[in-house]
Chain A
Amino acid sequence: MDERKAAYIEYAQAVPLAFAIDPDTCIGCGLCEAMCLAKAINYDDTERRTTLSVGALILSPGSQGFDPSGLELLGYGRFSNVVTSEEFERILSASGPYRGHLMRPLDREGPRRIAWIQCVGSRDVNLCGNGYCSSVCCMYAIKEAMIAKEHSHGELDCTVFNIDMRTFGKDYEKYYQRAKDKSGVRFVKSRIHTIDEVRETGDLSIEYVDEGGELKRETFNMVVLSVGLRIPDSLLDLARRLGVEVNKYKFAATHPFSPVSTSRPGIFVSGVFQGPKDIPTSVTEASAAACAAATVLAEARGRDAKSIEMPVEIDVAEEEPRIGVFVCNCGINIGGVVDVPAVAEYAATLPNVVFTDQNLFTCSQDTQDKIKEVIKEKNLNRVVVASCSPRTHEQMFQETLQACGLNKYLFEMANIRNHNSWVHGNDPETATNKAKDLVRMAVARANLLKPLKEKRIPINRRGLVIGGGIAGMNAALGLADQGFEAVIVEKEAQLGGLARELTTTIEGEDIQAYLYELIEKVNQHKMIQVLTESLIVGFTGFKGNFTTEILVGPRMYERKIQHGVVIVATGANEYKPKEYLYGQDPRVMTQIELGKRLEVKGASDLKRVVMIQCVGSRNEENPNCSRVCCQSAVKNALHIKELNPDAEVYILYRDIRTYGLLEDYFTEARRKGVAFFRYHVDNPPVVESAREGVIVTFKDHLLQRDLQVPADLLALSSGMVPEDTEELASILKLPRNEEGYFIEAHVKLRPVDLANEGIFLCGTAHSPKLISETISQALAAASRATTFLSQPEIVLSAVTANVDQDRCAACLICVRACPYDVPRVNEKGASEIDEALCHGCGICAAECPAKAIQLNWYEDEQVLSKVEALLEGVL
């Protein structure tokens, strides 16, 4: 949206965060090549071909935003103030063309009214051929509207024109409700076909038909087109070369029961190329693909890994400190402001400093080699680097120390860049003095550093899987197929969970046949042990070394299992409705019950079937969407139509949420004559029992009147409720949300990890989801678990809290203050902190009223020495 310089960083969060040269803009002046101190620029670089021999391939090529230029009536490209949602993201971004200020492109005025047009390039067979739903646009439109309101200086009116709002992800519905009720975002049910420009103002005029069939016209200052996801043609070419089949929308063809396997064995797929999806699902699927690939490669695991030999550690505990100080110029980052030679010279005058040097880039490989030589030559036993942030570089320098046999905790950094040259660029003299202060402080602490021993603990390579449904069994197979033992703990007498009640998937795949095969595979696998009728009663230990106590039925004898990881797959059930005469009239049943009924009795006796959506979902009791019920209804409706084409099927819905490729089935249902009627949450259908049928009364918005339909059968699309895991959650100390689903460590970036290390999550215990999604997530959890289990041992940070038990007053303050629940008062009446569990945050050390707790590497003396060095000569 804005001019870009020839040398640029793609965007602020790019990885790697490095400059690139745009060949279209570069005039080839050669200035950058001449100026670059690191000699990183090579104009003569050419394309190289490399051949790699691999055992498996994972395709994660992503997608592109739909280009709406072809949809002429929307005016994109003709009217400046019509932008795509991707462009609007850039407008809102602090690193974007308007530096995060909300402005419209034409006149850089702050808009007062913005409209979002949903389903541009999605759910549209007529104009662009994309019959699928892109899954992500409803959520991002709401997000953009909410952020736009935050960025706007005055009142901002946000309107989202949509066919259905598809906020089906975990907690997404709550976000939608918040946007509507708290932030005042307006949602209008209408598909927009035409946008006109008001020539004098650049505003945009939209004509639309509202739900009541009335024609309306509104004017907005700006319009955002919520463009869908599409697979570019270049990927089609890639797929062809790899021999991977794609479906009619160019997404990789996969099977519902092996969602990350392509048509070609050994080639796996994740992300949007598998089907439209959001970030959490993409991240999950990436782990799932890694699991599938690692299963194929299990035998070769670690074969090509290089290990680094570390020399034996030199004992320097008794030696006087001999400190080396290395001051960095960081190109001109530091050297351009701070007088680096003067700082190095000053450092030489500090106590116990026996060597100082300055480097252009202290982090470069040749400087590392130089530091290693100096450590040996000068017998250094402490090292200080004055450069940048320990967050990015500490570990690297510590490895340099270790390579010379020095304990890695004999290292200290002074940040003379971020904290100094970058913020005092206009005052070199003060910056140089501050650099000296920072170095003096670092040297003071270095003098007091002691070698610390990191505890190494072997990892128990067994995984415990809680729950033996589709999620649990797939997770167990994911572990076992990679050579790790798995123990499944199932509370029922049989494996299978909720899937035992299901018939077919919407694609027509036989769930019972799949389940039978899956159970067989699990039972036959020599690395999997299954405990049925079992109950978890105790849980202790830490990542890599857990012990779980289990009561195993039917005789309820107690077993203790040692294991390194836990995968939680406790599942969910269909909600048993209290609404709409369920349980009172036998003709009222849930979708799962209907599925079974169709299998057993067929549909020849059914003349008219009514279905009601969102039963037990999206209400006060359960504010979330249950994700699967729309497709269940469509699936059963299609099944009825297939068995008995003359049967009438009415589906009463609020928003039809057949996301992704499921949209095709929704289209097919409409084509086959299934009738869909929208109802409002504050005016739900009314159901009565009568001899001639179940009488359902609801309002038809187009006719603007109530309709009354007698049905032979009323199917309730009842939502999902998680398995009751209250006790389990308290035994394992796992966080759950208000509805009882477990809470993952990070919604987007760590979707199958729990915050408790070594514990992973999958299936409907996380949130409602389809079988294919459950399988992906189970593989993902297994992948995350094996990443951890495949290490020979865990090295625990030595930065942990230590209690001087003689001084401890057993006051319980550390016990109460610890965010990780680690300190315990032991039988001797003193606090005890398990170093394997301690996160090293230091809160207990700060809080202890008896000063009996010290945090290693940050002992009071070491921290205070810096303060004293800073104030030296001032007091």
Chain B
Amino acid sequence: MIVAKQKPIEEIIEGVRDYEKILIAGCNECVTVCEAGGKKEVGILASALRMYFMNQGKNMKIDEVTLERQCDHEYLEELRKIIDRYDVVISLACGAGVQFMAEKYFRTRVLPGVDTCFMGVTEERGVWSERCQGCGKCILGETAGICPISRCAKRILNGPCGGSTKGKCEIDKELDCAWQLIIDRLNELGRLDDYEKIIPIKDWSTERAGGPRRVVREDLRL
């Protein structure tokens, strides 16, 4: 899941202060699950803005909508008929959703309502953590199912480094050393010999470093 967190209300207010007609658009996928941009959050943000502007003596039209997904044309099309009624849209989707909406509705200003953080998991309610950086070439098979790219501060492929102390990373006492986890799990799997194998230099061209990426599946195209 893509994990996002709500932007500070002050920042959102600053962004919409000069407008009069606002649409807040939620997304029923990842941001709903991480409790940052679902229908409930849309309602809460709308109420907060209404209260704020009412106190300011400013009459604002603030409407709410939540789409199934903002990263698909068909769902975004649902806004076609109403989008012109608004000066600005606050999208509570991830960065992908915000951009796709902005691409589609070229003349309407679209503002992000959340800060998109990472691809990760729900550790427990209210706690999310990163698991994947989308490097384009997965090596989890070699690293006992634990990703050194997303979970090691240095992204090293043959760790641990000298900063690993009692299983924790030097950048944060709370943070597990990814390589300690890898070694522990290899041991558990009875494959500690694999640790001796040197992982070769990674081809980073499939990663962000190689520029913006696309996936094209000719077999699926219509």
Contact = CB atoms under 8 A, between A and B. Distances in A.
Interface stretch (A40-48, A486-494, A844-852): A844-852
A851 B40 contact: yes
The A interface is mostly helix, strand or loop, or mixed, namely loop
A193 interface: no
A848 B33 contact: no
B29 A851 contact: no
B221 interface: no
A206 interface: no
B39 interface: yes
A849 B54 contact: no
A811 B32 CA distance: 7
B32 A809 contact: yes
B43 to A, nearest CB: 7
A813 B39 contact: no
Interface string B21-61: 00000001100110100111101000000000010000000
Size bin of chain B's contact surface: 10 to 19
Given A816-B125, A849-B33, A807 B54 contact: no
B39 A850 contact: yes
Contacts of A513: none
A34 interface: no
Nearest to A875: B54
A691 B54 CA distance: 95
Contacts of B40: 848-851
B67 to A, nearest CB: 11
A848 B41 CA distance: 10
Interface in A428-450: none
Contacts of B39: 807, 849-852
B61 to A, nearest CB: 15
B29 to A, nearest CB: 7
Interface in A843-875: 848-852, 875
Contacts of B66: 850-851
Interface in B1-33: 28-29, 32-33
B33 A851 contact: no
Contacts, number: 40
Contacts of B38: 809, 811, 849-851
B204 to A, nearest CB: 34
Contacts of B41: 849
Q: Which of B29, B66, B125 has its CB near the most chain A CB atoms (within 10 A)? A: B125
A817 B126 CA distance: 12
Nearest to A847: B40
Contacts of A850: 28, 32, 38-40, 66
A868 to B, nearest CB: 12
A810 B38 CA distance: 12
A854 to B, nearest CB: 12
Interface in B161-190: none
Interface in B79-128: 122, 125
B25 to A, nearest CB: 14
B42 to A, nearest CB: 9
Nearest to B124: A816
Nearest to A811: B33
B43 A851 contact: yes
Contacts of B32: 809, 811, 849-850
Contacts of B122: 812
A818 to B, nearest CB: 12
A848 B40 CA distance: 7
Contacts of B43: 851
Nearest to B50: A875
A821 to B, nearest CB: 15
B24 to A, nearest CB: 13
Contacts of B28: 807, 809, 850
A851 B122 CA distance: 20
Nearest to A851: B39
A670 B66 CA distance: 82
B126 to A, nearest CB: 10
Contacts of A809: 28-29, 32-33, 38
A813 B122 CA distance: 11
Nearest to A816: B125
Contacts of A875: 54
Interface string B181-202: 0000000000000000000000
A760 B125 CA distance: 33
Interface in B59-75: 66
Contact of A813 (B29, B54, B125): B125
Interface string A777-816: 0000000000000000000000000000001011111001
A816 B41 CA distance: 19
A852 B39 CA distance: 9
B45 to A, nearest CB: 13
Contacts of A817: 125
A474 to B, nearest CB: 45
20 contacts: A809-B28, A809-B32, A809-B33, A809-B38, A811-B38, A813-B35, A813-B125, A817-B125, A848-B40, A849-B32, A849-B33, A849-B35, A849-B38, A849-B39, A850-B28, A850-B38, A850-B39, A850-B66, A852-B39, A875-B54
Closest 5 CB pairs of A and B: A849-B38, A811-B33, A851-B39, A809-B32, A849-B40
Given A811-B32, A851-B39, 17 more contacts: A809-B29, A809-B38, A811-B33, A811-B35, A811-B38, A812-B122, A813-B35, A813-B125, A848-B40, A849-B32, A849-B33, A849-B35, A850-B32, A850-B38, A850-B66, A851-B40, A851-B43
